[in-house]
């Protein structure tokens, strides 16, 4: 068997083959053109096209090499045909002699993307229109501010907005094992493959489970590495924003050699990305209200000390009170927040100190702030009015001086620092003329580090003044259960001995800023061994002539370490609700660390300044480890079954075995040894309930982490056995109006088994998927194609095995009972308000004093069903041979897609669970009502608070996404002035419908993160050694206004006395246009090449929403979910390469 010359097939993947079926040198050293090749090339329009075709080569990366395969220009197709009799395209295992897949496939050329300034695989894929039209996990969302699958630093790709877990990523046609940290790891981390080693990327834009198995619901991304080089190739890249932060640099080397019956190619790559901090961009640091009056002028609360809009980014360095108090006998004005008048704060210039009363005593330098007058935020109901203009000014100023911008926030990371190292090796050797053995190896190391800022808010007694019997008094609050975790909560004492400057019938909640650090270190290994055979040559022709056998074994392993800074829960336990200081010899209940007295109402501590002893008592670091192993064995045969008048009937059949295993072990703080564990207690007894006994005596390991998302050990394995087959039937050939008519079909059956580490298991057999497709070539310039198929997604390992994972959300973020009755009479109460009132919750209930509820999610092995989906696509492809004038070529592909997912696996979210319960027709027996616990103890200071929510993975109803893709390709030969090439790719999203439960539909189409339209346009001019590139991306207008109108009876603007008039928020954002340009110069016959360019040429800033807690979440002054928007700004980039 002679090696196939693959070098010319840069736009084609070899999905069914292992590495190295080609001899790289033979791919470049073409023999003289055959008569057939010469005839094909002679039919092309320009001399440049004819010469390229005869040489079987491609020159500078141009738009004509990317986009929909079906729209490739004749020069590309003829060159590909001239260099191979058969090819395999992503989405099939059947070899074809033309690009006639019934499915829409687009090709991305990394060299072309590099001309636009994109030099990482994640950037390239997430900017593709099929992905850019939906929310993505980018570098800016993976810095640790959010809990994302794969852990800090992981970046994934989601097609059609259906989620990364429904997008299958292949590496050279084989399923790529996931990488990352923590228990929720399931998708492929794009950091594993640097763009420098990619030849191209093919994206199959429809479901394909019948070809590739589970997860291929939204589509398939096939990363195809370089397979051909002879000698050494070097490349250096760099990108530097004009403002500091986010710089990246890369260096790579690739060497290959052909030695007759075999070849080898290897390379190394290094990539460095500097951190982007909030202080590096004005729009990232300070969230402002950004409100306007009806005439379009800014109308919001300013900081009276500067006259500038106030920052409301992160509340710190103040003390919350459990009750509201009237401010200095001013009717209608109350406060529940106090703040020290530190040097330079100038608080008393705008708010007078509190005049102490019998019910509350404050020191003179502890000033009431954030006074409550008439104020209405877009997401909040109206509060009682205080109409006096002087009073309104007082309230407005008191809100403007609240500590909401800690200076350390400027150092918090938006994008983490990243160092990435990659080495890869691949090769092949022909044992005989008909048998080849191939192999590949990949190693990748990713090191990520990010810093942030969080809050510590211990609940404490005031120094005294609680009447006997009050819920805030130690005699009531120091229950037997609380004393089990804090003996310093002595019911015989009056109050906190360190808070004697504050007296009253209240509990306090100091809010203290604390720095955070998260570091990840991920090692990823992947190896493949393949054996392939030409069966015709092996068995002497006959029936087996043209048949091939392909097989491989693949092993991938992810070893991840994640280090997190923590606050010790057992230390906070000794501080909360204390009535005495540390006792002699007293130690924390879990670690056994000596107790340290800390005064949290001291201005030093309140500002986050701790002594070494205090820091050692409160803070620590831990490292967890994540192992994920995937093994795959696959074998298939393909060839022509028999011939029909229109051609040969081709088939491919095979089988696959795969095993995935996860073992995530959190660190020794998240999973601390429990000294109180008692094996003699019967599991399930009352003592095992933490509400009865907070020592968790039935748990050998417990979390000692305060206020952060943690989980237990997540471990288990899944095993699947799969069989698949494909067939392609040519029905008609060379008849009027039917140049070719082909029918194709595929089917796959999967049986799976899952087992958690404790032996709990689940078996799922007989998951059938199928696909049928048709390809009708009317003539040389018109073609129709279409497909219909089913896909499925088995529950990911973390969805089945994830140990209970805890997180925290503010009461205001989840509870519809907060302020349910403010501004309306009981007669006007809706269903939710009626049910909140029936629970005894006051109409003006604020959610205080607790600032967060514990949210617990976990896996559902044995409970979850696989997702299923149906996908339809229909396309029209135009490739005319003639155009409007000489030298011009153009082609167009229009694709309609419709994907519907049933039994979608997800977590509902704490807010949806509580709202769903309160609005249910079967309340309070609806199953959702059993998923959360509300404090119903009317004597408790936390009465009404949602204490905890269970948010497990469940199957919900459905999700639907449909739209239209349009690819336009144009070239113009300019004679001695060179050649112009244009590629335009657009996606219109027609519907993005999410159905949580029957009758509860949400259409996200056109909202932030889900624009109706995205477009990507590339234009190059090539002339000899020079190439000039211009690119533009477009994201259509988006709006979240409807969600606000739904909540406010159709109104967008609202009256606000504290702001002095009607105010209108901004939740609609204009279309965004980003431009890039570069110049490339080649010298020494292309052996040396340099590209210089600028991205975001006009320094376009992200759109700006109102930062008032409305329907658009914000980070600084940008919409958090708008991952299409550029945060770096204008930046220069350079790329230098050499072939030696």
Burial 141-153 (b: 16+ CB within 10 A, else e): bbbbbeebbbbbb
| Average pLDDT of the segment spanning 224-252 | 92
Domain residues of the chain, as ranges? 464-498+568-618
DSSP character string of 456-481: E---EE-SS-PPTT-TTSHHHHS-HH
* pLDDT higher than 60, residue 988: yes
Q: Averaged over 372-392, what is the pLDDT?
A: 54
CB 956 within 8 A of CB 996: yes
pLDDT for 57: 43
Residue 514: pLDDT band with limits 50, 70, 90 = very high
pLDDT of amino acid 501: 93
Distance in angstroms (rounded) separating the CA atoms of residues 873 and 160: 13
CA distances for 417 relative to 153, 271, 687, angstroms: 9, 11, 46
952-964 pLDDT tens trace: 888 877 889 999 9
**Residue 405 pLDDT exceeds 90:** no
What is the distance between the alpha carbons of residues 783 and 699, in angstroms, rounded to a whole number? Answer: 65
Which is nearest to 388 in space by CA: 328, 333, 324?
Answer: 333
Q: Among residues of the chain, what percentage have pLDDT more than 70?
A: 88
Encoded tokens for 172 = 């050279």
User: How much is the CA Rg of the chain, to the nearest whole Å?
Assistant: 32
Query: Tokens 């501590």 label which residue?
Result: 605
Q: Is the pLDDT of residue 246 over 50?
A: yes
Cβ burial, residue 974 (10 Å; 0-12/13-18/19+): middle
d(CA 746, CA 807): 43
Neighbours of 310 (CB within 10 A): 23
pLDDT tens, position by position, 608-642: 999 999 999 999 999 999 999 999 999 999 999 99
Buried b / exposed e over 538-554, threshold 16 CB at 10 Å, is beeeeebebbbbbbbbb
pLDDT score at 852: 60
How far apart CA 335 and CA 315 sit, in angstroms, is: 16
Phi, psi of 446 (to 5 degrees): -125, 125
Residue 495 is encoded by which pair of tokens?
């109050």
pLDDT digits (tens, 9 = 90+) for 517-575: 999 999 999 999 999 999 988 888 778 888 999 999 999 999 999 999 999 999 999 99
pLDDT confidence of 97, banded at 50, 70, 90? Answer: low
- Confidence tier at 61 by pLDDT (50, 70, 90): low
In this structure, are residues 772 and 744 in contact, taking their beta carbons and an 8 Å threshold?
Answer: yes
pLDDT the model gives residue 824: 66
- Alpha helix (H) residue ranges in 329-418: 389-400
* Residue 471: per-residue pLDDT: 82
Instruction: Give this prediction's pTM.
Output: 0.86
Report the DSSP pairing between strands 714-735 and 647-665: antiparallel
In this prediction, residue 1088 carries a pLDDT of 94
Q: What is the pLDDT of residues 140-172, one digit of tens each?
A: 877 766 778 888 888 999 999 888 999 999 999
- Cβ contact 133:106 at 8 Å: no
The stretch 991-1018 carries a mean pLDDT of 86
CB 1032 within 8 A of CB 982: no
Half-sphere exposure of 906 (CA within 13 A, CB side): 21
For residue 47, give the DSSP letter. Answer: H
Least confident of 589-598, 904-913, 1005-1014: 904-913
Closest CA to 562 of 198, 203, 875, 148: 148
**Cβ neighbours of residue 828 under 8 Å, at least 6 residues apart?**
none
Q: Cα–chain-centroid distance for residue 1029?
A: 30
707 contacts 745 by C-beta, under 8 angstroms? no
The rounded distance, in Å, linking the Cα atoms of 405 and 1089 is 48
Mean pLDDT in the chain?
85
Per the CB < 8 A criterion, the answer to whether 1008 and 88 are in contact is no
Q: Angle formed by the axes of helices 47-55 and 35-42, to 10°?
A: 160
DSSP bridge pairs for 431: none
Is pLDDT of 63 > 80?
no
Question: Bigger pLDDT: 20 or 1134?
Answer: 1134
- In whole angstroms, give the CA distance from residue 933 to residue 1014: 43
Strand 738-756 and strand 761-777: the pairing is antiparallel
Question: Stretch 350-357: mean pLDDT, rounded?
Answer: 92
């Amino acid at each position: 068997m002679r090696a196939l010359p693959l070098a010319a097939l840069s736009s084609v993947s070899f999905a069914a083959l292992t590495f190295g079926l080609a001899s790289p040198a033979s791919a470049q050293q073409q023999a003289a053109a055959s008569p057939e090749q010469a005839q094909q090339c002679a039919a092309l329009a320009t001399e440049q096209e004819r010469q390229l075709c005869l040489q079987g080569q491609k020159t500078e990366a141009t738009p004509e090499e990317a986009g929909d395969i079906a729209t490739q220009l004749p020069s590309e197709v003829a060159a590909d045909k001239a260099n191979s009799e058969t090819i395999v395209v992503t989405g099939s295992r059947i070899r074809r002699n033309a690009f006639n897949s019934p499915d829409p496939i687009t090709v991305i050329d990394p060299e072309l993307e590099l001309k636009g300034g994109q030099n990482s695989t994640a950037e390239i894929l997430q900017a593709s229109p099929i992905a850019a039209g939906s929310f993505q996990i980018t570098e800016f969302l993976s810095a640790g501010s959010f809990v994302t699958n794969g852990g800090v630093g992981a970046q994934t790709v989601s097609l059609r907005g259906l989620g990364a877990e429904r997008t299958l990523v292949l590496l050279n046609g084989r399923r790529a094992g996931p990488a990352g940290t923590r228990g929720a790891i399931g998708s492929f981390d794009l950091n594993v493959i640097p763009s420098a080693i990619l030849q191209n990327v093919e994206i199959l834009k429809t479901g394909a489970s019948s070809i590739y198995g589970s997860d291929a619901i939204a589509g398939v991304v096939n990363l195809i590495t370089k397979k051909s080089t002879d000698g050494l190739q070097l490349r250096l890249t760099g990108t530097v924003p004009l403002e500091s932060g986010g710089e990246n640099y890369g260096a790579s080397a690739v060497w290959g050699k052909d030695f007759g019956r075999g070849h080898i190619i290897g390379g190394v790559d290094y990539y460095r990305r500097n951190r982007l901090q909030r202080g590096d961009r004005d729009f990232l640091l300070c969230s402002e209200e950004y409100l306007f009056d009806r005439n379009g002028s800014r109308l919001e609360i300013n900081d009276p000390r500067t006259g500038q809009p106030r920052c409301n980014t992160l509340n710190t360095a103040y003390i919350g009170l459990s009750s509201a108090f009237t401010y200095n006998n001013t009717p209608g004005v109350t406060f529940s927040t106090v703040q020290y008048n530190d040097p330079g704060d100038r608080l008393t210039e705008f708010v007078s100190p509190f005049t102490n009363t019998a019910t509350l005593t404050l020191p003179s330098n502890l000033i009431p702030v954030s006074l409550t007058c008439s104020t209405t935020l877009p997401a909040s109901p109206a509060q009682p009015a205080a109409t006096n203009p002087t009073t309104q000014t007082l309230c407005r100023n008191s809100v403007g001086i609240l500590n909401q911008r800690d200076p350390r926030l400027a150092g918090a990371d938006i994008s983490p620092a990243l160092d990435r190292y990659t080495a890869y090796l691949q090769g092949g050797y022909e044992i005989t003329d008909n048998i080849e053995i191939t192999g590949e190896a990949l190693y990748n190391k990713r090191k990520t580090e990010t810093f942030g800022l969080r809050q510590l808010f211990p609940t404490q007694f005031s120094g005294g003044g609680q009447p006997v019997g009050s819920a805030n008094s130690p005699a009531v609050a120091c229950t037997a259960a609380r004393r089990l975790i804090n003996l310093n909560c002595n019911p015989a004492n009056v109050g906190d001995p360190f808070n004697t400057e504050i007296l009253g019938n209240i509990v306090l909640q100091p809010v203290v800023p604390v720095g955070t650090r998260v570091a990840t270190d991920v090692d990823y290994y992947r190896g493949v061994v393949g054996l392939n055979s030409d069966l015709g040559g092996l068995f002497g022709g006959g029936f087996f002539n043209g048949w091939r056998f392909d097989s491989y074994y693949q092993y991938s392993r992810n070893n991840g370490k994640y280090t997190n800074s923590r606050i010790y829960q057992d230390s906070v336990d000794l501080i909360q609700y204390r009535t005495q200081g540390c006792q002699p010899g007293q130690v924390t209940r879990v670690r056994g660390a000596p107790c340290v007295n800390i005064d949290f109402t001291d201005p030093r501590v309140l500002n986050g300044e701790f002594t070494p002893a205090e820091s050692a008592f409160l803070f620590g670091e831990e490292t967890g480890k994540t192992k994920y192993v995937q093994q795959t064995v696959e074998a298939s045969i393909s060839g022509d079954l028999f011939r029909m008048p229109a051609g040969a009937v081709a088939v491919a059949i095979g089988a696959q075995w795969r095993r995935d295993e996860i073992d995530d072990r959190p660190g020794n703080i998240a999973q601390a040894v429990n000294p109180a564990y008692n094996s003699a207690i019967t599991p399930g007894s009352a003592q095992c309930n933490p509400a009865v006994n907070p020592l968790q005596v039935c748990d050998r390991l417990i979390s000692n982490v305060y206020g952060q998302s943690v989980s237990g050990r997540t471990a288990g394995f899944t095993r699947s056995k799969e069989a698949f087959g494909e067939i392609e039937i040519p029905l008609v050939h060379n008849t009027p109006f039917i140049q070719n008519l082909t029918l194709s079909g595929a089917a796959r059956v999967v049986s799976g088994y899952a087992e958690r580490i404790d032996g709990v298991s689940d078996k799922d057999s007989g998951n059938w998927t199928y696909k049928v497709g048709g390809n009708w070539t009317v003539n040389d310039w018109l073609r129709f194609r279409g497909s219909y198929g089913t896909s499925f997604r088995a529950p990911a390992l973390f969805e089945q095995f994830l140990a209970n994972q805890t997180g925290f959300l503010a009461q205001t973020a989840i509870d519809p009972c907060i302020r349910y009755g403010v501004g309306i009479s009981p007669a006007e109460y809706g269903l939710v308000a009626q049910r909140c009132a029936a629970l005894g919750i006051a109409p003006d209930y604020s959610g205080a004093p607790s600032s967060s509820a514990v949210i617990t999610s976990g896996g559902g092995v044995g409970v979850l069903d696989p997702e299923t989906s149906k996908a339809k696509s229909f396309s029209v492809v135009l490739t005319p041979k003639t155009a409007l004038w000489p030298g011009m070529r153009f082609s167009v592909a229009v694709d309609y897609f419709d994907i519907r997912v049933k039994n979608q696996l997800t977590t509902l979210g704490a807010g949806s669970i509580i709202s769903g319960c309160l609005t249910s027709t079967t309340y309070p027996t609806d199953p959702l009502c059993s998923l959360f616990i509300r404090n119903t103890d009317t004597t408790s200071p936390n009465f009404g608070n949602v204490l905890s929510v269970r948010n497990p993975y469940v199957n919900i109803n459905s999700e639907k996404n449909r739209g239209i893709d349009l690819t336009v390709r144009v070239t113009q030969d300019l004679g001695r002035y060179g050649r112009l090439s244009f590629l335009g790719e657009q996606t219109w999203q027609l519907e993005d419908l999410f159905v949580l439960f029957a009758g509860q539909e949400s259409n996200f189409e056109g909202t932030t993160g889900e624009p109706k339209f995205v477009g990507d346009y590339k234009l190059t001019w090539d002339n000899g050694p020079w190439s000039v590139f211009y690119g533009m991306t477009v994201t259509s207008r988006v709006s979240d206004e409807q969600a606000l109108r739904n909540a406010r009876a159709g109104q967008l603007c609202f009256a606000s006395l504290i702001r002095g008039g009607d105010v209108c928020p901004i939740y609609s954002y204009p279309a965004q246009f980003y431009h890039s340009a570069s110049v490339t110069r080649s010298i020494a016959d292309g052996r040396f090449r340099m590209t210089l360019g600028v991205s975001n040429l006009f320094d376009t800033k992200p759109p700006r929403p109102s930062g008032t807690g409305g329907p658009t979440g914000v980070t600084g002054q940008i919409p958090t979910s708008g991952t299409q928007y550029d945060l770096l700004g204008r930046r220069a980039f350079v790329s230098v390469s050499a072939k030696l």
